[in-house]
Amino acid sequence: MRRWLSQEKNIPFDNPESFSEYDQEKDSCREKLSQALVNSSEQDADDRNMPRFSKGLHTPELLLEINPEKKKKKCPLFRELYNYLQNFC
């Protein structure tokens, strides 16, 4: 998975927040990191019996790894939500 994600999707593992860009027309990211993870878990035919990435199971764990300061600079939707929550609390 790691090789495919780094070579095919150019995902920097030391800075995953830099993956994709905000698309104003879609009002979301152009590419979803979670979908890239799903796709990467389906690449190796030798590992078909291994557990696959699950958005429902694994996304909460990934969210714990996000640096909110970096994400705020990149995503206006996240920045708005984050600032609202900070002010609310």
Q: What is the DSSP letter of 80?
A: H
Q: Specify the amino acid at residue 42.
A: E
Q: How many domains does the chain have?
A: 1
11-59: per-residue pLDDT in tens? 888 877 777 888 888 888 888 877 888 888 777 666 667 677 777 888 8
Residue range 60-78: mean pLDDT, rounded: 85
Spell out the residues 6+ positions from residue 57 whose beta carbon is closer than 8 angstroms to its own: none
Rounded distance, CA 44 to CA 52, Å? Answer: 11
Q: What is the pLDDT of residue 57?
A: 84
Could you give the CA distance from residue 81 to residue 25 in angstroms, rounded to a whole number? 19
Q: What is the pLDDT of residue 86?
A: 92
Task: Judge whether residue 83 has pLDDT over 90.
Answer: yes
- Residue 85 pLDDT exceeds 90: yes
Q: Are 5 and 37 in contact (CB under 8 A)?
A: yes
| Residue 45 belongs to domain spanning | 2-88
What distance in Å separates the CA atoms of residue 82 and residue 9, rounded to the nearest whole number?
A: 27
